[in-house]
Amino acid sequence: MRALLPGLALCLAGCPPVLDDVAPQPRPEFIFKHAHNDYEHPRPLLDALEQGFESVEADVWLDGEAIGVSHTGAPFKGTLDALYLQPLAERVAQRGSVHGDGRPFTLWLDLKQGSPALQDLLVGALAARDYLTTFDDDGVLQQRAVTVLLTGHDAAKKAMVARASPRPYARDSNDYRPDDAPADGRWRAYALNTPAFLSWSGLGELPPAQRRQLENLVHGAHAKGRQLRLYANPDTEAYWQAAREAGVDFVNTDDLRGLAEAFAE
């Protein structure tokens, strides 16, 4: 481990560990505007699409014989099918892609429970949708209009990708280690807690030491062939721009209009 970077050396106990330098990787072809807890907006999915977002997150629970969408369980905002799967199907059928211009789109499903019943319902619901990217154990089998990434409950998402292939989803990891194995058709992304790696408030300029830390995290994920999403991030224009410049694949926000306007500049 190299010496602490200037600015991080002054951190108090509990400061994020400093990541080793990683060789720069090619920038991702596409940076996604990501709607965190998308269902909390007045019009789930639709508000994000109106602002040109290419990624949304839905928290899912078992609701009897349906898949409910909510942050904490009942009462639910609606079902996964009604809020996301069917509207996306209709848009792809009408436009050929979610935005009609071939831009990729990612639907993150945050498994809030690990029950086999929820897993079974999800497998059945996703298998019925022919617009979803499919994977086998080696990688992408067929790229389609929408890619589903499973996040949340660790055992459940691992169990789902261990089912027979091909499958219309892959998973992330909420833990990053420099010695992680390269990406395969099951594990395609990281979703990481920002304060575990950065101590920056998101106000003012990103300090050089923190910029290097962010770049090392991005390069480390990309060196494994995985995309990167950071959550619990400062929801500020300074952070959005820093994340975009560093090559974070999914720039996370609750402020749909603010991020859309920042990206348009």
**What's residue 196's pLDDT?**
95
- Taking the C-alpha atoms of residue 57 and residue 149, their distance in angstroms, rounded to an integer, is 9
Helix 237-246 and helix 256-264: axis angle, to 10°?
50
9 falls in which pLDDT band (50, 70, 90)? very low
CB atoms within 10 A of CB 128: 12
- Taking the C-alpha atoms of residue 61 and residue 43, their distance in angstroms, rounded to an integer, is 19
**What's residue 15's pLDDT?**
66
pLDDT digits (tens, 9 = 90+) for 11-20: 544 567 789 8
pLDDT digits (tens, 9 = 90+) for 192-224: 999 999 999 999 999 999 999 999 999 999 999
**What's residue 18's pLDDT?**
83
Check whether the bond before 75 is cis (ω within 30° of 0): yes
Report the percentage of the chain scoring pLDDT > 70: 94
Cβ 45 vs Cβ 265: under 8 Å: no
**What's residue 5's pLDDT?**
39
**What's residue 14's pLDDT?**
58
**What's residue 13's pLDDT?**
45
**What's residue 7's pLDDT?**
38
Residue 44 has pLDDT above 50, yes or no: yes
**Which domains are present in the chain?**
32-264 (3.20.20.190)
> In this structure, are strands 32-35 and 250-253 parallel, antiparallel, or unpaired?
parallel
> Global pTM?
0.93
